[in-house]
Chains A and B, each alone.
Chain A
Amino acid sequence: MHLDPEFLSRLQFAWVVGWHILLPAFTIGLASFIAFLEGAYALTRRPVFLNLSQFWLRIFAISFGMGVVTGIVMPFQFGTNWSRLSDAAGNIISPLLAYEGLTAFFLESTFLGVLLFGRKLVPPAMHFVAAVLVAAGTLSSAFWILATNSWMQTPVGYEVIDGLFYPKDWFAIVFSPSLPYRFAHTVSAFYVTTAFVVLGVGAYTVRRGQSPGEGRMMLRLAVWFLAIFVPIQVVLGDQHGLNTLEHQPAKLAAIEGLWDGGSGVPASIIGWPDQTAERNIAEIAIPKLGSLYLTHSWNGAVKGLKDFPADQRPPVAVVYFAFRIMVGIALLMLAMVACGLFLLWRRRLDDTGWYLKACQFTVCLGFIAVIAGWTTTEVGRQPWTIYGLMRTADSVSPSLTGANVLLSLLLYVVVYLIIFPTGIYTMLRFVWRGPAASEDDAAVDSGRPKSPIEALASATAETH
């Protein structure tokens, strides 16, 4: 078997970033949720908000730690596997990555310390500020990394001299054409993802009957939040799609499974895109509908895949199905929200067993949608790392052999398959224990020394 270092490097990148992205997808939303709970507690002094904040903070600490260690892996991938990209585009992407570190990582880790250890050390208002700063740090991190990604997807403000990219206009580089849409769609996706976790944990807590107050509060907060944000997310996704149509038409054609462009194009509902035959097998399509929602005109012109040379098309089937998985999940989410709102109106939200069970299953919906959406945009921009300018094949480190990358990929696979199940199990144990157990951890842990975090929290509390 021929081992291709480029393909294996892509697999490796997909593996390490695919797992990593699940953590920000959760921690970005959770940080804002905790800031909201802290704010609500500071305003109302209702213990339910305090209990919930303490409960989610413990889960946040673990997912944040996992995010840190899997995140350190990421910048090194640019060097180990994509050194030619780093050489060619380093002048432009490096400050964006550096600003992520400077504005986000230190802010997050320092004020997370205050959040975890400092409740009794600082006034409640300051504790709330710390929560807001952690949330701001996570959002800043998302902004800069998506600015980097967006510039690579829709590059502007540069000039090329001897094969190297040089910056000409930093404002244009940072705020590249796809950034506003990508940032809004991604952050909203992360918020929705987190809200579905809160909904599921709320449902579990209510069903179990312990801490019913906290459970009911989580259910209500999640349903209301999702009632606003799921529709917003659908609109943002549509806008992002139109932005893609404008700047990355080949990606959009792959999303639509549209081979023959022209005016009055159909909308492909489902089928099997055959890359070599250049058509869709067993397709169900609605005539003219594609033009309508893409150009808002029955006869609007849209480019098809055949308008691009074969070596400039992404792997169509992957993009096509990833997009449909994402849209399918969006429909499921809308259904869950509609049911939730209806039950809330009928005052049956807390005792409708089937709905609460369904909520527990939909915990993973957001994560799957995030991975599907990320696959759509990242596979869709193939075969380019810098869209239209630098090919993925020309980006990979020249010194690597297929065997080298296979070995590193296998090691990443083994390690991630150990740490992610362990991490998820560790977080689940907090869920099983429930929100009420917040102050009783020491009793549960009796006979064993306190964990550093817990020991520290009680120690700092005692000495002040």
Chain B
Amino acid sequence: MPGLDLVPIWTAILAIGVFLYVALDGFDLGVGMLYNFAPDRDARALVMNSIAPIWDGNETWLILGSVGLLAAFPVAFAIIIPAVYFPILLMLLALIFRGLAFEFRYRDAEHRTLWDHGFAAGSGLAAFAQGVVLGSFIQGYQVEGRHFVGGSFDCFTPFSIFVGFALMFGYALLGAGWLIIKTEGDLQDWARALGRKCLIGTVLAIAVVSLWTPWTDPKIATRWFSWPHIAYLAPVPIITAALVLYAWRALNDRSEYGPFIAGLGLFVMSYIGIAISLWPMIVPGHFTLYQAAASPSTQEFLLIGTLFLLPVILTYTAWSYWVFRGKVRADIGYHH
């Protein structure tokens, strides 16, 4: 494929990969956070059953996201990952506890409470750490040449910590939406009530981040608020507001899929909003997508396999969700 510009394709693949991770592991991390609020032990078992068969497939997207960033934009990986050294560490350790809780919670009866708490706290901490990564990414890093040269704790700012909590609410909203799909009766009512709280938190968080970002960065403010940009970009906040209204109604009527879909919609809109703010930078303030792109030969070599394998993987994933479709119940687990 000589001469063909693959950077837009890789940008799209990486964007989709990261979004799939956020959407898929987002809801199961959210379910994990809501787990400890479940009314009793049977309810907790149901909550965990709702994601047991799919969580490790979901988490695999994280590997693909990180390795995909290295493959498509190696210098961005080499700058961003050391800059978020401790959030990444916390996320990895949290994911270990949370993932093993599935295996250990029942089989290691003596330590059940430890793994129960590990599941909930690990899910929350992983979500928070990912939010800190996102927040610090938006704010940018101290870079010299091709390297991050700041301190390992620079990424913890009031803004990034706020984004950490914001992402916890967002994931919890997705988790509540998932539980509404997978449960019924009292447990579904419980998930709806939690979902309403998460929605309020998520909306406040989106509003604060949407104002905080342009307030701290004049370039982002110009991009959003100068004429005629404000006219082109007006649909972003308008659609977001419409989704919030739809989510609220879906949580309050008997809609089963509405809350989850609306939650995903809010993530899509936030994602688009961040992309608009940062475009075309992959390391804000230092490297554009083109400047950070891997060598054309690298892009070609990986694209050939990816174009074949990614559809196959998506087919697997869709198939496994289809196999485990339907409500999860205490007596018989899944039923179709």
Contacts and interface: CB of A to CB of B under 8 A. Distances in A.
Interface string B284-315: 00000000001101100110011001100100
A395 to B, nearest CB: 11
B70 A90 contact: yes
A408 B100 contact: no
Secondary structure type dominating chain B contacts: helix
A452 B66 contact: no
Contacts of B81: 76, 78-80, 83, 86
Contacts of B60: 68, 101, 105-106, 109
Interface string B45-72: 1001100110011011011101110110
A399 to B, nearest CB: 5
Contacts of B63: 71-72, 75, 101, 105
Nearest to B330: A449
Nearest to B106: A451
Contacts of B211: none
Contacts of B56: 65, 68, 109
A90 B53 contact: no
B97 A415 contact: yes
B146 A87 contact: yes
Interface in B4-61: 41-42, 45, 48-49, 52-53, 56-57, 59-60
Contacts of B103: 61-62, 65-66, 423, 426
Contacts of B163: none
Contacts of B59: 68-69, 72
A90 B301 contact: no
B186 interface: no
A65 B83 CA distance: 29
Interface size class of B (residues with CB under 8 A): 35 or more
B82 A451 contact: no
B298 A106 contact: no
B96 interface: yes
B26 to A, nearest CB: 16
Q: Which of A102, A415, A422, A460 has the most C-beta atoms of chain B within 10 angstroms of its own C-beta?
A: A102
A243 interface: no
Contacts of B335: 459, 462-463
Contact of A456 (B52, B95, B309): B52
Interface in B319-336: 319-320, 323-324, 330, 332-336
Contacts of B78: 79, 83-84, 86-87, 90
A231 B27 CA distance: 50
A241 to B, nearest CB: 32
A265 to B, nearest CB: 42
Nearest to B141: A399
A455 interface: yes
A100 B149 CA distance: 31
B225 to A, nearest CB: 34
Q: Which of B97, B107, B302 has the most CB of A within 10 A?
A: B107
Nearest to B151: A399
A76 B105 contact: no
B102 A463 contact: no
B198 interface: no
A449 B107 CA distance: 11
Range of interface residues on chain A?
35 or more
Contacts of B149: 398-399
Interface string A41-85: 000000000000000000001100110111111011011110110
A76 B75 contact: no
A426 B147 contact: no
Contact of A399 (B62, B83, B295): B83
B74 A94 contact: yes
B314 to A, nearest CB: 9
A400 B82 contact: yes
Contact of B310 (A62, A94, A102, A423): A102
B121 interface: no
A271 B85 CA distance: 42
A166 interface: yes
A252 interface: no
A311 interface: no
Contact of A102 (B297, B309, B319, B332): B309
17 contacts: A79-B82, A86-B78, A90-B75, A91-B298, A92-B298, A95-B298, A98-B306, A101-B60, A102-B64, A166-B295, A399-B149, A399-B150, A404-B85, A448-B109, A449-B106, A456-B53, A463-B334
The 8 closest A-B pairs by CB, nearest first: A79-B81, A90-B74, A459-B333, A452-B52, A87-B78, A451-B106, A94-B71, A397-B82
Given A90-B75, A445-B106, 18 more contacts: A66-B100, A68-B99, A78-B81, A97-B71, A98-B64, A110-B57, A121-B323, A397-B82, A397-B147, A397-B148, A404-B152, A408-B89, A422-B111, A451-B105, A452-B52, A459-B332, A459-B335, A463-B334
Interface of A: 61-62, 65-66, 68-73, 75-76, 78-81, 83-84, 86-87, 90-92, 94-95, 97-103, 105-107, 109-110, 113, 117, 121, 166-168, 170, 397-401, 404, 408, 411-412, 415, 419, 422-423, 425-426, 429, 445, 448-453, 455-456, 458-460, 462-463
